[in-house]
Structure 1
Amino acid sequence: MTKQIGAQSEVVFHFTIKLEDGSVADSTQLQGKPAKLIMGDGSLTPTFEACLLGLKEGDSHSFDLGPDDAFGPVNPNNIHYMDRSKFAGDMTLEEGAIVAFTQPNGAEIPGIVRNIAGDSVTVDFNHPLAGHGVTFEVEILTVDSAASTPESVTN
């Protein structure tokens, strides 16, 4: 019997994410290592997970997702204008550069330098694929429904 992806299945799969122009934004096949996730663990957006529900081992499928269903729209509140003095003096700033910023809680968040005008640096903290429609291609390698059945717990 072929195993089908359910709400808490453990899934091993290859995926490729393509942009509207057909260019590949990410691919496990190019890396030679499949992805593994437990459905509902938050590693994929709900829309991406919904695309996987019901697929079976051995299935290959392609889904076209608009910006709102993929990585979301560009949020203008995630674009910040910073003074050049906020960057290390020896840092070479150029458009398209990805810079890591430390948040107050110590976590790092990447920002993309979008524009440099004099002492003003525009940094975009949106996901790099925000605002883009994508094609999500998947090949399901294995499905294990055991992830939905917890091991016996001892008290």
Structure 2
Amino acid sequence: MTQAQAGDTVRIHYIGTLTDGTQFDTSVGGEPLQFQLGSGQIIPGLERGIDGMALGEKQRVVVPAAEAYGTHDPQKVQQVPRSAIPAEIPLERGLQLQAQTPQGVPVVVVVTDVSSEAVTLDGNHPLAGQDLVFDVELVDIVKAA
């Protein structure tokens, strides 16, 4: 039986949900996700769950927040003056914006609150702090040379 190992290129179909059953992503109905196992191209907890799976195997992988997108970091949430954001941008909760760190590195932030004086921006990944559940099917393995 062929099993996935570090260095192999694998293709999986998956359905990603939160622990309450809310679906946040899926490959079902589209192309399988392809990546090299052990290369860090996907979240660590999911990668560990796939390592050793057999071709055609289906499995549920529960990934704690720390092995997914990390815990929610309150230091990545900040308020900025409303005047710091161009007036032509229609600010509303959930809007994603691109900002820059003081070092000039681009980051995606989400608007979490808006008032006439200030805007609260969250630089955490939207799934930070969430335990994730993946229903995975391993559909292809290309063994490492």
Q: TM-score, normalised by structure 1?
A: 0.85
Deviations 1:69-100 (A, max 9, x none): 32211011111211112212100001111112
1:106 Cα deviation after fit:
6.3
Cα separation, 2, equivalents of 1:102 and 1:29: 35
Cα separation, 2, equivalents of 1:104 and 1:66: 31
Structure 2 residue 95 is matched with structure 1 residue 97: yes
Match of 1:44 in 2: 42
Q: Name the SS for the 1:115 alignment partner.
A: strand
Structure 1 residues 26-105: aligned runs within 5 Å: 26-30=25-29, 32-103=30-101
Deviations 1:49-77 (A, max 9, x none): 11111001101100222222322110111
Cα separation, 1, equivalents of 2:81 and 2:64: 34
CA RMSD after TM alignment: 1.7
Q: Name the SS for the 1:54 alignment partner.
A: coil
Q: Name the SS for the 1:111 alignment partner.
A: strand
Q: Alignment identity in percent?
A: 28
The amino acid that maps onto 1:27 is: T
Structure 2 residue 10 is matched with structure 1 residue 24: no
C-alpha spacing 1:65/1:47, structure 2 compared with 1 (3 Å):
closer
What is the aligned length? Answer: 145
1:27 Cα deviation after fit:
0.6
Structure 2 unpaired stretches of 5+: none
